[in-house]
Amino acid sequence: MSSLTAALYGVLIVYLGGWFLGYWTGNFSLLLFILTVVTLLYWLAERLRFKPARAAAAAALEQQDGARRAELARLGIEKVDGDVHEAKARLLMQPWWLDWTAGLFPVILAVFLLRSFLFEPFKIPSGSMIPTLLVGDLILVNKFHYGVRLPVINKKIIDNHAVQRGDVMVFRYPVDPRQDYIKRVVGIPGDEISYVDQTLSVNGQKVPTQALGEFYDEDGMRYSPLFSEKLGAFEHRILVDPKRQPYYGPDPKNFPMAQNCRYTAEGVNCKVPPGHYFMMGDNRDNSQDSRFWGFVPDENIVGKAFFVWMNFGNLGRIGSFH
């Protein structure tokens, strides 16, 4: 068993090393599930077989020592050298390969349940959600806000809150579901979304905005026009820079249900299909989002982002956001 455990750890180290070096894309949810199952098997084996066997061996040793002492006492020998307590303790000691598997099961199980059903941490890797979220923000995502989903396969089994316009959502990138993206929900099923000449409209109504001056992007080392936007129940801030307006077409886009969208050089108009959502970054001119790769299906939802729990470069970032 020690050789098998060493081999399993070797495979884990190679997998994590290749993931870290970029040789392949890892799936942390699947990895955590496999670790939970493997350590559970070791934990059951420890409880049902290995621990009882060690206890039986220790009891046999103690019984043999008692019998030897009784026999020596019968022969008149009262003083007997030797103490089985140390040997008994060694017999009862958990070997390293169980300590590093069965011993880790409760911790891995707690992390798996917490991450799968309650809250999951994420790190913001890009500036697409500036000014709401900055590069380096460590955020928490509520995994049960939109409903309870089975881990790994992400199948919803219990409904909760409906997705609302204005929510900041983490989801599996439709082009490559192995990657997680974070954007703001702009359109829900049935909405008519228009983003033309850097102006957002929902169902024919322009979304209210108000100029707030300029925002200095420390990473990009530039100023951008800052606005507040009322989308849904709360206001949030966005960046819109007329000097950096992206180009949308008129070439046809290739993504599922692309026929629901019409592209011009000035922008895009889309009808959100059932069971899908239209997502945009708050950094409107520096965000690859639904304008370019299409709609997010409901089964790709990971959860609702709601709290910055750490930014090592700026502790003032800690707190909730809209």
123 is annotated as an active-site residue: no
For 36, the token pair is: 């939970």
| Sequence-ordered list of residues with C-beta below 8 angstroms from that of 153, at least 6 positions apart, any chain | none
Of the candidates 124, 123, 120, 173, the one whose C-alpha atom is nearest the C-alpha of residue 145 is: 120
Q: How many helices (H) and strands (E) does the chain have?
A: 7, 18
CA separation, residue 158 to residues 119, 140, 144, 150, 306 (Å): 16, 21, 9, 10, 21
162-173 burial string, b = 16+ CB within 10 Å, else e?
A: ebebbbbbbbbe
CB 318 within 8 A of CB 184: no
Set 29, 116, 143, 183: catalytic member: 183
Set 29, 116, 128, 290: catalytic member: 128
Alpha helix positions (H), the chain: 2-21, 28-45, 51-74, 85-92, 96-99, 105-117, 290-293
111-125 burial string, b = 16+ CB within 10 Å, else e?
A: ebeebbeebbebebe
Q: What is the end-to-end Cα distance of the chain in Å, rounded?
A: 51
128 is annotated as an active-site residue: yes
For 195, the token pair is: 């983003």
Cis previous bond, 208, omega within 30:
no
For 98, the token pair is: 């169980």
Distance of CA 278 to the CA centre of its chain: 21
Residues annotated as catalytic (active site), given as ranges: 128, 183
